[in-house]
Amino acid sequence: MDYGAEVQVVMTASAQKFMTPLVFETLSGKPVLSDMFDGEYIGTRHIELVKESDLILIAPATGNIIAKTINGIADDLLSTIILAGWRKTLFAPAMNINMLENPATQSNFKKLVEMGSEIIEPSEGLLACNDIGKGKLASIDEICEAVETRLLGQGLLKGKKILVTAGPTREKIDAVRFISNYSTGKMGLALALEAKKEGADVTLITGPVNLDIPIGINTIRVESADEMLDVLLKNNADHLYMSAAIEDFIPVNFSDEKLKKDKMPEAIAIKKAPDLVVAYHEKNPDTIITGFSVEIENGKNNSVSKLEKKGLDFIVWNNPTVEGAGFGHDTNEVTVFSRDGQEWFLPINTKRIIAHKIIKITSDIRD
């Protein structure tokens, strides 16, 4: 409902033992359907419901309903809807770990995928039966993300391998101190989520951030610029979105112990961080690279100069002095420049929408 979707809830008899229909009727604003033949709207109810739906989400999907689906059993309203609308189904399984690992269940999962259905992988943790392991229903955020991908994705990056860097890097001074910046990684995560929505195989390489990253996003966590460079060079890609705020200054010397105040040097010798984009471009000349530029004064010229110097295909200029833009915000305002001289201004909006527009621009030009 919060996403602007019209929701019709269908409950099995077993589901009503756990939750009352009244809860879902209150939230959806519609009567909950549970029986093939009760109520005013009967006829070919199961067929009409399928025709009216863009997506059929089964959550939680039990081992029983999955087995029914695979074997074409339709003995209640939900299983009949699934039989008629199997092309529209999205399953979010939840069950005990032993039930999940049963060869029959695993075989059914494979058959679901083969027949064209999608599965939102269950997560690990403490289960309702107090066992610990895989089988928990995926988080609400993951389920909503999967639904959004299914309904709104345009396949802009389908079949593409995408790398996204995010967040800051930290350069150690001693065991407890470091040099870093204010990047939160929100823009990078938005790009990773939008790329996944558009059908890409996404790897997110992130510095230290405090973000809830969905399980479906392959994530590699690093700390320093050297660590990020090492991971980058081990991964080839069709597109690289270099949104990480690489710390420019690296201390020349590092202490394994905490430096005492009376032994702290008057000045800390520093060196420049490696140029990750240049190093990656040299090894992967065919990758479409989109860089990011945080500039306050003479932003356009400095950004375009950086694009040309580093051999980028695109660069996204971010002015952190603009209200609602820059580090830490959920919104952003940017200008995108291309190697062939084109320019796109993207006014203030959520970082997810900005990320989608960046992906649309960068996938349209060269692909």
pLDDT, tens only, 118-129: 888 888 887 787
pLDDT digits (tens, 9 = 90+) for 286-323: 999 999 999 988 999 999 999 999 999 999 999 988 98
Q: Where in the chain is the domain with CATH 3.40.50.10300?
A: 161-366
pLDDT digits (tens, 9 = 90+) for 139-171: 888 888 788 888 887 888 989 999 999 999 999
- Who contacts 361 (Cβ-Cβ below 8 Å, separation ≥6)? 314, 336, 338, 344
Mean pLDDT, the chain, integer:
90
The Cα 263–Cα 134 span in angstroms is 50
Indicate if 144 belongs to the active site. no
Catalytic choice (7, 19, 128, 129): 129
Query: With bands split at pLDDT 50, 70 and 90, how would you rate the model's confidence at 1?
Result: very low
Q: Where in the chain is the domain with CATH 3.40.50.1950?
A: 15-152
**Where is 130: in which H helix or E strand?**
none
Q: What's the pLDDT score for residue 243?
A: 96
For the ranges 62-66, 111-115, 288-292, 330-334, the lowest mean pLDDT is seen at 111-115
- Who contacts 283 (Cβ-Cβ below 8 Å, separation ≥6)? 233
**Residue 277: pLDDT above 80?**
yes
The Cα 251–Cα 254 span in angstroms is 7
In CATH, what number does 161-366 get? 3.40.50.10300
Q: What's the pLDDT score for residue 367?
A: 45
CATH class of 15-152: alpha beta
**Apex CA 88: angle with CA 84 and CA 89, to 5°?**
90
Which residue is listed with tokens 């950086």? 306
**Where is 301: in which H helix or E strand?**
helix 299-310
Cβ atoms of residues 214 and 232 within 8 Å = no
Q: Has this prediction a pTM greater than 0.85?
A: no
Cis amide prior to 60 (ω within 30 degrees) = yes
